[in-house]
């Protein structure tokens, strides 16, 4: 009976490590999901700003070419 208790305590230590690793995996997944959504919104804003700037530059270039 004592040997069985000893084996169960060893298994408990292993189970604690498994739960710790599982917690780290969950935390990493949540962090990745949040970071991914933040990156997507930042990229969308950057694309919109870039497109507006290119359109303005194109208009000014065409205006300058029309003056020649």
pLDDT (tens digit per residue) in 25-38: 999 999 999 999 88
Counting every residue written for the chain, the total comes to 68
Helices (H), the chain: 2-66
Instruction: Spell out, as residue ranges, where the chain has pLDDT lower than 70.
Output: 1-10, 68
CA atoms within 13 A on the CB side of 37: 5
Q: What is the pTM of this model?
A: 0.54
């Amino acid at each position: 009976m004592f040997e069985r208790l000893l084996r169960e305590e060893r298994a408990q230590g292993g189970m604690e490590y498994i739960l710790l690793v599982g917690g780290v995996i969950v935390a990493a997944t949540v962090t990745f999901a949040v970071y991914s959504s933040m990156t997507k919104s930042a990229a969308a804003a950057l694309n919109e700003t870039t497109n507006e700037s290119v359109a303005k530059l194109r208009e000014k270039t065409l205006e300058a070419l029309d003056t020649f």
